[in-house]
Amino acid sequence: MTDRTLNQCRILVVEDEYLLAAELCHELAEASAVILGPVGSLAGAIDLIHAEERIDGAVLDINLRGEMVFPAADLLTQRDVPMLFTTGYDPSIIPPRFAHVVCCGKPADLDLITSIMGRLIHD
């Protein structure tokens, strides 16, 4: 569990693998986060970002059925939303403008993701 609370923090989950999305949402909910999504497509992520007034953090799978999540990450960056990426690919695919974003490999360590999200939001 996270050393910093996610109580009532609104966390966007963008993940196209259903089971991983469900497990991640469960883990974040156990940390008392409010889950936004999950969404499994770039279009869905962009729509949700535009629709939500408040997003405190985001967990973004880099590759969504062949589409890269970076346009959604750009929108979150414009709003100063802390985020982390998850991917099964080599992190070298991440554009330099996101060099500061934490990247967690897959298979995902859900406890680690939850802990990192807590630190990103509260630091």
Domain boundaries, the chain: 10-122
pTM confidence score: 0.94
10-122 belongs to which CATH class?
alpha beta
Spatial neighbors of 92 by CB under 8 A, at least 6 apart, are none
pLDDT along the chain (123 residues), means of 10: 74 96 96 96 98 98 96 98 94 93 92 94 88
Spatial neighbors of 120 by CB under 8 A, at least 6 apart, are 57, 82, 83, 84, 102
